[in-house]
Chain A
Amino acid sequence: MIFENLEDFFWMEGLGPFVLGAYFITFVVLGINLFFPMIREKRLRFELRNENYELRSDARFEE
């Protein structure tokens, strides 16, 4: 461990905002990358299920 206490860690001899900011932005960008395919998958599942449901209800209606 390089730092003695939490305050030292956040300060990093004045460089803390830069270093932690860079890490923060990195994880924001990675998070966005992770997030978009996930919601798209959810939406696709939802759409396809609805299509299934519509097809089935159409079939029932025709009977």
Chain B
Amino acid sequence: MLGWFHRLGSPKTFFGMSQSWPKTFGLLSLVLLALGTVWGLLFAPPDYQQGHSVRIMYVHVPAAAVAQSCYLIMAISSAVFLIWNIKLADWAAKSMAPIGASLAFLVLITGAIWGKPTWGTWWVWDARLTSTLVLLLLYLGIIALRNALEEKGNDGRPCAVLALVGLVNLPIIKYSVDWWFTLHQPASFTLTEKPKMPPEMWIPLLLMAAGYYLFVFSVWTSRIRNEIISRERKTAWAKAWAGSQ
């Protein structure tokens, strides 16, 4: 088990292994996303309260789940890097930050668009939107720290500590923001799905969620591969890769 882990941690092995991952998983994810989109836009029923604007749920809710998962994955990579000093894990954490940030941004934008017809305003200081905003700020902080460290030629260890501090803080932030929201506003109309969703609503949701996860995985591996190549550009196998196509 540990041997397998160490082999995965070697940039060369990982690079050889992941050759086809970005393309395969990317295509698979695009198929799922296309299916989910068509289903969500054309076949899913409108909501009895919100009408057609409920269709935004199919892009918004999975993005929110994935944006949080990205943070978790980034924090796990950071922990692996700090504990076993595997450089690949550092690069993996680095590659995940922009993806997570863009998804958190997407959640905020689609949330705002969803809010306009349902709440009547573009932005409500709703608990979910606010904690997503904090998540985005955390991502931006991590990216800023990473850039500053790389300018100085340092590795990402402080960044990894920051990611872990953020991981400890995220549940507290989420809880406190929930508290704050219920304190200041009576829970009126939330964007949550109702407990019993008909299958023609949750199947596209599931398709989109799976599509998002595979998409993130594809982009993540392709970013990691770029990172490996740019760091190992002096090696023979990196040169062979450049000449191969």
By a beta-carbon cutoff of 8 Å, the part of chain A in contact with chain B is 1-3, 9, 12-16, 18-19, 21-23, 25-26, 29-30, 32-34, 36-38, 40-41, 44-45, 47-49, 51-52
Contact = CB atoms under 8 A, between A and B. Distances in A.
A25 B110 contact: yes
Interface of B: 22, 26, 33, 37, 41-46, 51-53, 55-56, 59-60, 63, 98-99, 102-103, 105-106, 109-110, 113-114, 116-117, 215, 219, 222-223, 225-226, 229-230, 233, 238-239, 241-243, 245
Contact of B242 (A16, A23, A49): A49
Interface of B is mostly: helix
A19 B222 CA distance: 31
Contact of B41 (A19, A21, A25): A19
Nearest to B44: A2
B53 A44 contact: no
A15 B117 contact: yes
Contacts, number: 102
A12 B53 CA distance: 8
Given A25-B109, A25-B110, 7 more contacts: A13-B51, A18-B56, A22-B110, A29-B102, A47-B233, A48-B238, A52-B243
Contact of A18 (B22, B63, B114, B222): B114
